[in-house]
Amino acid sequence: MSDGPTHTVASLVSTLNATVQVPGSKSVAARALVCAAMALGESTVSNLPSGDDTASMLSGLATLGAKFEVHGDTAKFRSSWDVDQLDPLVLDARLAGTTARFLTAVSALRLGEVVITGEEALRKRPMDDLHQALSDIGLDVSPLNGTGMLPVAVKRGKQKIERVIIPATTSSQFTTALMLIAPKLPQGLSIVTEGDVVSQSYLDMTVGVQCSFGVAPVEQGEHVFRYASGDYVGTRYEVEPDASSASYPLAAAAIAGGRVVVSGLGRSSLQGDSQFVDVLVRMGCSVERNGDDVVLSRAKEIPLLGVTVDMRDMSDLVPTLAVVAAFAQTATTITGVGFIRKKESDRISDLAHELRALGVSVDERQDGLTVHPSTTHAGSVDTHHDHRLAMSLALIGLVTPGVVINDPMVVSKSWPEYWQMLGALK
């Protein structure tokens, strides 16, 4: 039983038939905001999501001296930030790993020292591969509380190498951070990833956003991104709808049967998570595209069937798929995602524990999960400070009365209006 706020999910009382507007992609938004802050000339970035991660990124860029104004869901940047300022700064990334990683690299372009810190949970998350790579390049990196952790102090140093190697097995955010600053280094940079790349789709997303701001790798392969020295150019950029957020209403239609329309999702060309629709089709759902809208449906007489799927390129959606899998008539095995144990929560072990609390039969694997056909029941689940666990586990409550989510406002990280959306489904 939780001592804090809870949310009891309201079960559906009729066949699902809903249209949902999801927020802009926070992953795309983070990249676009960094590019806009470094670009020559004016930029506007519109359809920004309202979550904590976006607020953290905007706050961090303001701390660094980026000049912009926010009106509604649009940020207008007036010019590139001044990297030659000498005054020391402290940048608080709060709980946002993306902000901490991207802006650690960006801050290392600055002449004056920047201390990057965050809340306790963020200070426990791994940063070592990024810090080591920045140091290898010649940038000044000084850990303040143990190697590879926050807080860390960074500032500009003399570039020593034009080619850096970074492990690709922990987080694509480390590689993306280097990609974002590569064209701003005097000699450019060649980034070589080592090992099996996790979340390759996020690296492709980075390239896509950079191209919109006038920067493209001069060489791009499976394990290399090489950039010449150059400038980002201001532009008008609209953030596409968030495919990760869209997974929840789509999963609702898969679980409960019925029909959900996600407005604008057909424009989500940069996100690997847009492949989630294809997985649901394999399980027995139907999909159609009306212009930019995606319509997913499942007739109740058509059973859900389990799948075996490597989720490394859409790893944020492992909790969503695991919940859908509980209602399938055969088992589902999710592989390739051992690295998600170091996300906001241990998204394998913690997820398995909470699924079991609601009656789901699940086997934990080193690199994923196997979920068996289950009969779910009422219960209370913890969110482990993880918005994706909260949003996915709540879906069980749509068809199982009595599901209670502890610490429900953790969803503010990516979709503060999530509970209103879920309650409006009908």
- Annotated catalytic residues are 316
Tell me, what amino acid is at 161?
I
Q: Tokens 């960006």 sit at which residue?
A: 106
DSSP 221-272: -SSEEEE-S---B--EEEPPB-HHHHHHHHHHHHHH-EEEEETTGGG--S-G
Residue among 220, 267, 206, 224 nearest 242 (CA): 267
| Exposure b/e, 304-333, CB count within 10 A at least 16 = b | bebbebebbbbbbbbbbbbbbbbbbeebbb
Torsion (CA) 376, 380, 383, 384 in degrees, nearest 10: -110
Structure tokens at 303: 């059973």
Q: Which residues contact 41 (CB under 8 A, 6 or more apart)?
A: 79, 233, 234
Q: Are strands 67-71 and 258-262 parallel, antiparallel or unpaired?
A: unpaired
Torsion (CA) 200, 203, 208, 214 in degrees, nearest 10: -150
Contact 206, 191 (CB under 8 A): no
